[in-house]
Amino acid sequence: MREFQGAGDPMRLKIAVQKSGRLTDSSLDLLSRCGLKYSRGKDQLMCYGENMPLDVLFVRDDDIPDLVQEDVCDLGLVGLNVIEEKRLAFQARDVGPLFETVQLLDFGRCRLCIAVPDGFAYEDARSLQGRRIATTYPNVLSRFLEENGIAAEVVVLSGSVEIAPRLGRADLICDLVSTGSTLAANHLRHAHTVLESQAALIRTPMPIPLQKQEWTRRLLMRIDGVEQVKGSKYIMLHAPRSALAAIAKLLPGSEAPTVIPLEGRGDRVAVHAVCRENVFWETLEDLKGAGATSVLVLPVEKMLA
Ligand code: PRP
Ligand code: ZN
């Protein structure tokens, strides 16, 4: 194993990750799949990559864009909800150049929603006219109101938005919803989706120092590779040569399959293909119906294009 300099080394990459919340486990899983080995003590704010010059900072998700914007961290894993809110806030303050969104990631899906108390008659955005809306996303909400030509009061809170209507601080809320259980527990119902969110990788607006560029490139390539194989499957089967065209059509999200002759069987071939989508039982039944036999479906662990 290669030796890396001490963890305080400014030439080590730093990536900010949510400390505890909906993105934490999936973010750490992504980094592990990229080959990172690290040890994390309880309540530790930072952990040091043991086999890469990469350190992970654990912070509140709302702080991640600021840390990346200020170049304290080179990279960050955070939801589009926070990215969009911060981007609008920075733009309003004429901050530039801004941090960049490098890649969307396949986890942390949720929605920023307008939600109303039971009994509130919501028809469309016009129902918000003149109302008080509690949120921790004032910039995204204000943009939505502006786009819809609605004049409403934005009540900015730092948390516990869902209880604002009951406390009489607002008529309705604009908040993040994933399972919907927070809404249900507070007698609120979804009225309108303002923003669809998922996790994304962001990077500093500053040029990354030469010494860190190689590992940045490698990490980004590995993240891309991990994202690509999610849901991907490797299919192997035997088929009559005459059914090749029909079988190729049935393979979900695959490019040209590899066709291999079978020794002593001029009429039958082996077909291998990477499918970029999940393979369901129905697909296997269709393949069998088209003449395929010995169908094997394997998970894909890593892929480098
Ligand atoms: C959001 C939101 C709700 C909850 C909704 O908080 O403010 O409290 O998630 O999730 P549910 O639909 O599954 O019940 P978040 O986890 O983003 O907390 P944070 O604002 O402290 O980051
Ligand atoms: Zn948060």
- For range 116-135, the mean pLDDT: 96
pLDDT for the residue numbered 301: 86
pLDDT for the residue numbered 2: 44
Q: Is 78 in the pocket of ligand 1 (CB under 6 A)?
A: no
What domains are defined for the chain? 13-108+199-229 (3.40.190.10), 110-197 (3.40.190.10), 233-299 (3.30.70.120)
pLDDT tens for each residue of 45-66: 999 999 999 999 999 999 999 9
Work out which ligand 1 atom sits closest to the CA atom of 185. 14
Q: Is 179 in the pocket of ligand 1 (CB under 6 A)?
A: yes
Work out which ligand 1 atom sits closest to the CA atom of 181. 14
The closest ligand to the CA of 110 turns out to be: 1
Whose C-alpha lies nearest to ligand 1, atom 6?
A: 176
pLDDT for the residue numbered 252: 82
Q: Is 180 in the pocket of ligand 1 (CB under 6 A)?
A: yes
- For range 162-182, the mean pLDDT: 97
User: Please, are residues 251 and 275 in contact by the beta-carbon 8 Å criterion?
Assistant: yes
Q: In the chain, how many H helices and how many E strands? A: 9, 15
Q: How confident is the model at residue 266 (pLDDT cuts 50, 70, 90)?
A: confident
The closest ligand to the CA of 197 turns out to be: 1
- For residues 221 and 254, give the distance between their C-alpha atoms in angstroms, rounded to a whole number: 21
- For range 253-258, the mean pLDDT: 85
pLDDT for the residue numbered 279: 85
Q: Is 158 in the pocket of ligand 1 (CB under 6 A)?
A: no
pLDDT for the residue numbered 277: 81
Residue in 279, 280, 219 with CA at minimum distance from that of residue 254:
279
The closest ligand to the CA of 23 turns out to be: 1
Cis peptide before 252 (omega within 30 of 0): no
Q: Is 182 in the pocket of ligand 1 (CB under 6 A)?
A: yes
Angle at 78 between CA 69 and CA 46, to 5 degrees: 75
- Report the percent of the chain where pLDDT is more than 90: 84
- For range 7-14, the mean pLDDT: 79
Q: How confident is the model at residue 3 (pLDDT cuts 50, 70, 90)?
A: very low
pLDDT for the residue numbered 256: 85
pLDDT for the residue numbered 91: 97
Q: How confident is the model at residue 278 (pLDDT cuts 50, 70, 90)?
A: confident
- Report the percent of the chain where pLDDT is more than 70: 96
pLDDT for the residue numbered 8: 58
Residue in 106, 132, 102 with CA at minimum distance from that of residue 117:
132
Work out which ligand 1 atom sits closest to the CA atom of 81. 17
Say how many C-beta atoms besides its own lie within 10 A of residue 72's C-beta.
Answer: 15
The closest ligand to the CA of 22 turns out to be: 1
User: Please, are residues 253 and 277 in contact by the beta-carbon 8 Å criterion?
Assistant: yes
Q: Is 175 in the pocket of ligand 1 (CB under 6 A)?
A: yes
Between these two residues, 296 and 5, which has the higher pLDDT value?
296
Q: What is the mean pLDDT of the chain?
A: 93
Compute the chain's Rg from CA coordinates: 25
Residue 200 has pLDDT above 90, yes or no: yes
pLDDT tens for each residue of 131-150: 999 999 999 999 999 999 99
Q: Is 61 in the pocket of ligand 1 (CB under 6 A)?
A: yes
